[in-house]
């Protein structure tokens, strides 16, 4: 996935103002985010849709913007505020994958290869888009593909608040007709040179002899040709940090008030959280379960485990216990599970109790993890299609 916040600087500042008692949403008036407006050289960093209708463009001076719209409202940029909202988005996305590349303050790449949990990439994208809007108050565009380049190109299609795919079999229809200037990583100085070669669309570039491009542009020519043909082998570059917590949540397709059905969902979440804990060689001391009702009321409860663990069974049993305590029969639309107070598994003390059972569970978890690593996360699961495998005792 590539996730790009729509009109980030203006949206984030608008949300902050509303949260602090302002009544006017600056996204709905002619407004811009820029530098010091007392300086003629102050630049427009972001603009509302109404400002855009006056012909105001990002990158022009505030002086020029005011000539186009004398009543335009100008607000100073606030990097610390942007970082705060960027971090909120990052924290939400960590519930879906540990592999996140923060490409800029308002966009990132997500490697979802091992984190779909029986869902499709489109299902997860819809859930993320909805949660960002409902929980954080802004919108995002999401691009889906099999590599970073195509995901990035897809997220730049129609905006705002859209999800687009651009897989290899869609390149000819969706990407090749685009003007050459829209190809990712193509510099402004390169476009006129390509025009002189009668290359005006991405499709024109894709069909030209690669050797001709290399001869004229060197390594950059090779990259341009590969990008035009959807070729990109770059990895999602993420920080290998020890997480402070690991969680996951799911927005339900329909409201559920049946405790058994909610337990099945908790099992799927427990399996995923435990799998990620083991990948990090970490164990949890505390389990937290969160619920959102159909009336958007959020509540959560946490409890300390008897001993630190990354066992799917132990995490599920604790989560099930918390759910029983919390749930009073109300319809639920979102279920969340989080493992907290994490430590490295080597720091745990050896327990004299239940050692044989613990070893059996660890061997089972390890065997299933190896199968998932080899054949993909969804290749085998104790949660089935959110049903319980009766051969494994979770009662």
Residues 50-98 have pLDDT tens digits of: 999 999 998 888 888 999 999 999 998 888 999 999 999 999 999 899 8
pLDDT band of residue 124 (cuts 50, 70, 90) is very high
pLDDT for 365 equals: 75
* Cβ atoms within 10 Å, residue 168: 13
Question: What number of H helices and E strands is found in the chain?
Answer: 14, 13
Mean pLDDT of 173-181: 96
The average pLDDT across 137-164 equals 96
Residue 374, pLDDT score: 61
Average pLDDT score over residue span 130-145: 95
The one catalytic residue among 23, 28, 37, 107: 107
**107 in active site:** yes
Residue 337: per-residue pLDDT: 94
Longest distance between any two alpha carbons in the chain, whole Å: 78
pLDDT category, 194, cuts 50, 70, 90?
very high
Q: Which two tokens stand for residue 230?
A: 């959807």
Domains of the chain and CATH, by start? 7-79 (3.40.1170.60), 176-228 (1.10.150.20), 246-379 (3.30.1490.100)
Residue 40, pLDDT score: 53
Query: How far apart, in Å, do the first and last CA atoms of the chain sit?
Result: 37
Mean pLDDT for the stretch of residues 312-326: 94
Q: Is 31 helix (H, G, I), strand (E, B) or coil?
A: strand
Residue 273 pLDDT greater than 50, yes or no: yes
Q: Count CB neighbours of 266 within 10 A.
A: 24
pLDDT for 114: 81
Neighbouring C-beta atoms of residue 239, cutoff 10 Å? 9
Measured CA to CA in angstroms, residue 240 lies from 159, 243, 249, 268, 348 at distances of 33, 9, 22, 25, 22
- At residue 298, does pLDDT exceed 50? yes
Residue 338 · residue 288 · CB < 8 Å:
yes
Residue 196, pLDDT above cutoff 70: yes
Q: Which residue has the higher pLDDT, 62 or 4?
A: 4
Which residues in 230-357 belong to E strands, given as ranges?
246-256, 282-293, 298-309, 332-340, 343-344
pLDDT at site 41: 55
CA nearest neighbour of 174 among 187, 183, 162: 183
Question: What is the reported pLDDT for 391?
Answer: 33
Higher pLDDT, 364 or 389: 364
Mean pLDDT over each residue of the chain, to the nearest integer: 87
Rounded mean pLDDT of 203-207?
96
pTM of the model: 0.75
Q: What is the mean pLDDT of residues 114-118?
A: 79
How far apart are alpha carbons 124 and 381 in whole angstroms? 18
* Count of Cβ atoms closer than 10 Å to residue 133 Cβ: 13
What is residue 357's predicted lDDT score, i.e. its pLDDT?
A: 65
Q: Is the pLDDT of residue 129 over 60?
A: yes
Other beta carbons within 10 Å of 345 = 16
Percent of the chain whose pLDDT exceeds 90: 66
Confidence of residue 388 (pLDDT cuts 50, 70, 90): very low
**In a 3-state reduction of DSSP, which class is residue 324?**
helix
């Amino acid at each position: 996935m590539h996730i790009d916040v729509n009109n980030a600087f203006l949206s984030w500042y608008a949300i902050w103002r509303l949260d602090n008692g302002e009544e006017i949403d600056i996204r709905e008036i002619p407004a811009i985010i820029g530098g010091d407006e007392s300086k003629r050289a102050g630049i427009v960093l972001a603009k509302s849709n109404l400002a855009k209708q006056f012909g105001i463009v990002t990158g022009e001076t505030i002086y020029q913007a005011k000539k186009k719209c004398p009543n335009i409202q100008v607000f100073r940029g606030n990097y610390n505020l942007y970082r705060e909202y960027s971090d909120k988005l990052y924290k939400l996305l960590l519930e879906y994958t540990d592999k996140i590349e923060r490409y800029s303050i308002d966009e990132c790449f997500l490697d979802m290869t091992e984190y779909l949990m029986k869902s499709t990439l489109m299902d997860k994208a819809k859930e993320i888009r909805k949660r960002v809007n409902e929980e954080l108050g802004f919108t995002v565009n999401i691009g889906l593909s099999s590599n970073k380049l195509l995901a990035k190109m897809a997220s730049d299609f129609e905006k705002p608040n859209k999800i687009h795919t651009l897989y290899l079999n869609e390149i000819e229809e969706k990407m090749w007709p685009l003007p050459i200037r829209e190809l990712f990583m193509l510099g402004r100085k390169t476009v006129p040179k390509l025009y002189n070669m009668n290359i005006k669309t991405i499709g024109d570039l894709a069909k030209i002899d690669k050797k001709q491009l290399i001869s004229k542009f060197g390594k950059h020519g090779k990259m341009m040709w590969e990008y035009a043909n959807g070729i990109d082998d770059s990895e999602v570059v993420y920080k290998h940090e020890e997480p402070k917590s690991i969680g996951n949540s799911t927005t339900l397709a329909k409201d559920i008030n049946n405790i058994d059905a909610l337990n099945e969902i908790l099992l799927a979440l427990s399996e995923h959280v435990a799998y990620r804990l083991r990948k990090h060689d970490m164990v949890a001391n505390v389990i937290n379960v969160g619920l959102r009702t159909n009336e958007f009321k959020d509540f959560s409860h946490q409890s300390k485990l008897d001993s630190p663990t990354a066992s799917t069974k132990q995490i599920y049993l604790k989560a099930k216990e918390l759910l029983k305590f919390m749930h009073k029969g109300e319809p639920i639309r979102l279920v969340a599970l989080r493992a907290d107070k994490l430590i490295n598994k080597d720091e745990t003390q050896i327990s004299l109790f239940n050692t044989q059972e613990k070893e059996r569970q660890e061997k089972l978890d390890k065997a299933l993890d190896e199968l998932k690593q080899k054949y993909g996360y969804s290749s085998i699961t104790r949660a089935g299609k959110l049903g319980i495998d009766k051969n494994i005792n979770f009662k």
